[in-house]
């Protein structure tokens, strides 16, 4: 086994509570009585497999070197492969490429607008019910480069009902969705399966699971320990990590995130936008959104209508919901764990798959250690794979986001990484996505 890096000794001590004193919400609505109804559950199940038209514009219509760099900046990832085209030209990718979850900012939508029946099917599910991001599974097939145009299709992939949930104390519905990203040839670039917990808001407040949590405070010595972890982070970069040199039980050099501030949430928005599902924006954009979806707004203590999404940065809104402080977006932690993996694998590796769960809130003031351990090594033809258990742990010693990952590494015996092959179903659907859109375009223009 490789020698234990000094950073891990610091991280191990940090994983235990030392300070004085479940990210899941990526959106919520607040009208209605906040109860989950059988009718809503039935309609949710009827949506499975139907491509959904996304009204809100995607943040980036075309990948560019700047937006790729801005996205990595927003998650605190300074790997030069995401930022420096000249650096990238000296790698096997022969140019700048995007960090893995940059795809969330892309994806033109050619799904047709819904007719009356589909509008009725998709309108207003689970009104007044908190919707919490609970996990994601990503798979990647091709790098995204400056100049790429990406299309995506969005469908409901599953619905699960729990009558008495430990999360909220009441009924919850777990719904799952899939984004299928393809390039102009219809070739799969990535898939993103994500899940949400729909929890009855009153039940969540009554449960009071976070009532004893206090926002973290720090001594100068605490900050010194955090600074030591930042200083010890290692970007593998051009120092090739070969599959043969990896051993089961090897630990990844940790990546630290925090203490999380409003500044860090703002930084994430710089690269990610406001999130396409919300359609929110500043000033006139906010006014237009409020006219279109008033349920997404509530009045603050000064009488100003503001998006309920502000619970990620507004302490007063968090307190209204029975929380000690605002908290992160779950996708931030998935990005952080991807950062851990790409640091470790180096320029010549490829992140094949990452699955994460969100098990607890990550509040402002919390500090997160991202860590991983090699669990297994496998061979699939010319591909050499490493399977890794990852986790995000806060300063209270709570694992807020466990997960698993598969990384492909170059091999001294088998050679360079061979990119993953998508399933025949994904290849077929990607081709048909583009062909069906072309048929609709021809029909609108009166062509053959």
Give the chain's radius of gyration (CA, Å): 22
Whether 359 is covered by a domain: the verdict is yes
Task: Please state the rounded mean pLDDT for residues 419-440.
Answer: 96
**Domains in the chain: how many in total?**
1
DSSP states of 167-216 as a string?
TTSS-EEEEEEEEEEE-TT--EEEEEEEEEEEE-HHHHHHH-TTTT----
| Residue 392 · residue 401 · CB < 8 Å | yes
Distance separating alpha carbons of residues 385 and 351, to the nearest angstrom? 10
CA-CA-CA-CA torsion sign (74, 76, 78, 79): negative
Whether 177 is covered by a domain: the verdict is no
Count of beta carbons in the 10 Å neighbourhood of residue 226: 20
Task: Please state the rounded mean pLDDT for residues 301-315.
Answer: 94
Distance separating alpha carbons of residues 79 and 82, to the nearest angstrom? 6
Whether 295 is covered by a domain: the verdict is no
Strands, E, within 231-279: which ranges? 255-257
Three-state SS for 297? strand
- Per the structure, the complete domain to which residue 392 belongs is given by 1-21+213-260+331-412
Count of beta carbons in the 10 Å neighbourhood of residue 282: 8
pLDDT tens digits for range 141-163: 999 999 999 999 999 999 999 88
The residue among 435, 448, 74, 406 whose CA lies nearest residue 263 is 74
Distance separating alpha carbons of residues 247 and 279, to the nearest angstrom? 46
- The pLDDT confidence band at residue 123, using thresholds 50, 70 and 90, is confident
Residues with Cβ within 8 Å of residue 319, at least 6 apart in sequence: none
- The pLDDT confidence band at residue 306, using thresholds 50, 70 and 90, is very high
Whether 83 is covered by a domain: the verdict is no
| Residue 223 · residue 26 · CB < 8 Å | no
| Residue 58 · residue 360 · CB < 8 Å | no
The mean pLDDT value of the chain amounts to: 89
Domain with residue 352: its CATH number is 3.10.129.10
* pLDDT, position 160: 93
* pLDDT, position 202: 54
CA atoms lying within 13 Å on the CB side of residue 429: 22
Whether 352 is covered by a domain: the verdict is yes
Judged against a pLDDT cut of 50, whether residue 23 lies above it is answered with no
Distance separating alpha carbons of residues 63 and 86, to the nearest angstrom? 17
Residues with Cβ within 8 Å of residue 173, at least 6 apart in sequence: 36, 40, 41, 44, 126, 159, 160, 161, 162, 197, 198
Judged against a pLDDT cut of 50, whether residue 67 lies above it is answered with yes
The residue among 372, 334, 311 whose CA lies nearest residue 102 is 334
Residues pairing with 307 in the sheet: 297
Instruction: Match 């092959």 to its residue by tokens.
Output: 421
Give me the phi and psi of 195, to 5 degrees please: -125, 150
Helix ranges (H only) for 48-198 are 65-74, 85-89, 116-122
Identify the weakest region by mean pLDDT among 52-56, 130-134, 283-287: 130-134
Express as a percent the part of the chain with pLDDT over 70: 88
- The pLDDT confidence band at residue 130, using thresholds 50, 70 and 90, is confident
Give me the phi and psi of 332, to 5 degrees please: -60, -45
Task: Please state the rounded mean pLDDT for residues 274-286.
Answer: 83
Distance separating alpha carbons of residues 67 and 83, to the nearest angstrom? 10
- The pLDDT confidence band at residue 25, using thresholds 50, 70 and 90, is very low
What's the distance, Cα to Cα, between the start and end of the chain in Å?
A: 65
Query: How would you classify the pairing of strands 188-199 and 130-140?
Result: antiparallel
Structure tokens given for 286: 């906010």
Residues 164, 168, 169, 173, Cα dihedral to 10°:
-20
Judged against a pLDDT cut of 60, whether residue 22 lies above it is answered with no
Q: Per the confidence metrics, is the pTM higher than 0.85?
A: yes
pLDDT tens digits for range 333-374: 999 999 999 999 999 999 999 999 999 999 999 999 999 999
Express as a percent the part of the chain with pLDDT over 90: 74
- The pLDDT confidence band at residue 27, using thresholds 50, 70 and 90, is very low
Residues pairing with 355 in the sheet: 137, 404
* pLDDT, position 207: 52
* pLDDT, position 167: 57
Judged against a pLDDT cut of 80, whether residue 165 lies above it is answered with no
| Residue 107 · residue 183 · CB < 8 Å | no
Task: Please state the rounded mean pLDDT for residues 415-425.
Answer: 97
The residue among 404, 361, 359, 357 whose CA lies nearest residue 385 is 404
- The pLDDT confidence band at residue 448, using thresholds 50, 70 and 90, is low
Three-state SS for 356? strand
Whether 140 is covered by a domain: the verdict is no
Higher pLDDT, 38 or 242: 242
Judged against a pLDDT cut of 90, whether residue 434 lies above it is answered with yes
* pLDDT, position 260: 98
pLDDT tens digits for range 178-217: 999 999 999 999 999 999 988 876 544 545 667 788 899 9
| Residue 211 · residue 15 · CB < 8 Å | no
Give me the phi and psi of 314, to 5 degrees please: -105, 110
Distance separating alpha carbons of residues 430 and 187, to the nearest angstrom? 6
Task: Please state the rounded mean pLDDT for residues 419-427.
Answer: 96
Three-state SS for 31? coil
Whether 150 is covered by a domain: the verdict is no
Question: C-alpha distances in angstroms, 303 versus 30, 126, 406?
Answer: 16, 26, 49
| Residue 48 · residue 157 · CB < 8 Å | yes
Whether 16 is covered by a domain: the verdict is yes
Identify the weakest region by mean pLDDT among 118-132, 182-196, 257-271, 396-410: 118-132
């Amino acid at each position: 086994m490789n020698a234990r890096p000094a950073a891990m000794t610091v991280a191990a001590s940090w994983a235990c509570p030392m300070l004085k004193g479940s990210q899941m919400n990526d959106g919520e609505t607040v009208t209605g009585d906040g109860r989950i109804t059988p009718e809503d559950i039935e309609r949710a199940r009827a949506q499975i497999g139907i491509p959904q038209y996304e009204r809100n514009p995607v943040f980036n219509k075309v990948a560019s070197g700047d937006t790729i760099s801005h996205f990595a900046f927003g998650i605190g990832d300074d790997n030069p492969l995401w930022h420096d085209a000249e650096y990238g030209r000296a790698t096997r990718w022969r140019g700048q490429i995007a960090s893995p979850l940059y795809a969330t900012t892309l994806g033109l939508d050619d799904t047709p607008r819904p007719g009356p029946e589909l509008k009725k099917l998709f309108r207003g599910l689970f009104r007044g019910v908190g919707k919490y991001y609970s996990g994601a599974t990503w798979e990647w097939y091709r790098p995204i480069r400056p100049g790429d145009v990406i299309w995506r299709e969005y469908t409901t992939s599953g619905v699960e009902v729990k009558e008495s949930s430990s999360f909220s104390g009441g009924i919850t519905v777990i719904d799952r969705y899939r984004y299928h990203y393809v390039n102009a040839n219809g070739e799969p670039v990535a898939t993103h399966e994500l899940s949400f917990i729909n929890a009855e808001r009153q039940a969540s407040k009554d449960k009071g699971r976070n009532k004893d949590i206090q926002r973290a405070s720090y001594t100068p010595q605490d900050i010194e320990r955090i600074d030591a972890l930042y200083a010890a982070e290692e970007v593998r970069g051009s120092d090739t990590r070969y599959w043969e040199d990896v051993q089961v039980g090897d630990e990844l050099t940790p990546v630290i995130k925090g203490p999380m501030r409003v500044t860090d949430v703002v930084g994430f928005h710089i690269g990610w936008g406001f999130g396409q599902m919300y359609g929110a924006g500043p000033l006139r954009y906010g006014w237009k959104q409020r006219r279109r979806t008033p349920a997404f707004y509530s009045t603050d203590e000064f009488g100003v209508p503001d998006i309920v999404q502000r619970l990620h940065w507004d302490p007063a809104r968090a307190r209204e919901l029975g929380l000690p402080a605002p908290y992160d977006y779950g996708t931030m932690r998935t990005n952080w764990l991807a950062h851990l993996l790409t640091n470790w694998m180096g320029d010549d590796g490829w992140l094949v798959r990452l699955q994460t769960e969100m098990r607890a809130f990550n509040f402002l003031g919390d500090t997160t250690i991202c860590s991983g351990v090699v669990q297994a090594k496998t061979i699939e033809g010319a591909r050499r794979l490493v399977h890794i258990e990852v986790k995000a742990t806060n300063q209270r010693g709570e694992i807020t986001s466990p997960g698993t990952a598969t990384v492909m590494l170059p091999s001294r015996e088998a050679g360079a990484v061979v990119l993953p092959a998508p399933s025949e179903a994904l290849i077929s659907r990607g081709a048909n996505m583009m062909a069906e859109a072309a048929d609709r375009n021809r029909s609108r223009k009166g062509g053959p």
